[in-house]
Amino acid sequence: MAADDATGGKAERGTRDPARGARQRERGFALSDRPDFAGAPWQAVRWRRFGPSRKVPTMLSREERRLYWWLTGVWAKGRGAAVDLGCFVGGSTARLAQGAAHAGHGRTVHAFDRFTADDRAKAAVLYPAGIAPFAGDDLLPLARTLLAPWADRVVLHPGPIEETGWTGEPIEVLAIDAAKTAATADAIARDFFPHLVSGGSVVVQQDFLHDAQPWIAVQMERLARHFEPVAFVPRDSVVFLTRSAPTRADIAAAPVAGLDDAALAHWLGRAEERFAPLGLGPRIRALAAALDRAPGARAAWRFRTARTG
């Protein structure tokens, strides 16, 4: 596909959010000299390529939206499914599905979430995006409505990801925004990583640099021989190419939930050594600092409490 065939028109307009302004103005960059990621080609994706997915509320940054469309619309070759872990009402799923529809390779997008939200989350994300206020915490009917344009290629998996499991088919694109506890990160690795395609899958760790979830960087460092970092996309995403799909035995030997703070700090130090030459050293150091502020915490909400308490 020619580059201009994938990228005509104006850039997608994101939801205005002054509190996120500085991060929204950041630009991502390649972490590898691999030609398919060199030059951050996802940044060239233009707004008209998003079609109806622009109407689906999302917490993704503007550049993450471009990345998701580009991964299924340009990068993917139909080697496996796209899997979206932690999709909220389907904003990330819609971008993945729209990209897949553009590419025409017919692969399914599987979206996993509990599909629930409290009033605060609804008021912060959904209502400003034009969703009419509604009672209750059930998001599944709304997600089905919003994702109706891609009903032929999207499968929703409601419930705890730790219990839902995977179908067993190959996974070409794995987007993760659900590792909010160390235990969940271990469950995701156990159930999904063995089904990645060696040399032909990407993993998007959307919270890799989020200072409330330092176990993600530790997990990827413990499995470093299997994954090559290839891109940074603001706000906190790092994209990894799967060198070799880890086996269940590999994953069982590299848990994060059972590590104490000293062990987490050790692996964060290893991660800093690897990512500092790639321009992300300060962000990894921020993860270690967050760990110092919330000793023993293994859930994201505990880090947020420590930050504000």
Q: What is the pLDDT of residues 225-238, one digit of tens each?
A: 999 999 999 999 99
Chain mean pLDDT for the chain: 92
Amino acid 258: pLDDT = 95
Asked if residues 96 and 81 have their Cβ atoms less than 8 Å apart, the reply is: no
What backbone phi and psi angles, to 5 degrees, belong to 156?
Answer: -95, 140
State the Cα–Cα distance between residues 83 and 111, nearest whole angstrom: 6
DSSP 8-state symbol, 196? B
State the Cα–Cα distance between residues 174 and 78, nearest whole angstrom: 13
State the Cα–Cα distance between residues 278 and 274, nearest whole angstrom: 8
Residue 4 clears pLDDT 60, i.e. is over it? no
Instruction: Quickly state the pLDDT bin for 9 (edges 50, 70, 90).
Output: very low
**Quick one: 3-254 is in which CATH superfamily?**
Vaccinia Virus protein VP39 (3.40.50.150)
Instruction: Quickly state the pLDDT bin for 11 (edges 50, 70, 90).
Output: very low
Amino acid 8: pLDDT = 47
Contacts (Cβ under 8 Å, ≥6 apart) of 153: 97, 100, 101, 106, 107, 108, 109
Residue 5 clears pLDDT 50, i.e. is over it? no
The token pair at 94 is 């819609």
1 compared with 36, residue with greater pLDDT:
36
Residue 13 clears pLDDT 80, i.e. is over it? no
pLDDT in tens, 186-239: 999 999 999 999 999 999 999 999 999 999 999 999 999 999 999 999 999 999
Amino acid 309: pLDDT = 60
Residue 17 clears pLDDT 50, i.e. is over it? no
State the Cα–Cα distance between residues 67 and 53, nearest whole angstrom: 14
pLDDT in tens, 80-115: 999 999 999 999 999 999 999 999 988 899 999 999
User: Residue 225: is the preceding peptide bond cis (ω within 30°)?
Assistant: no
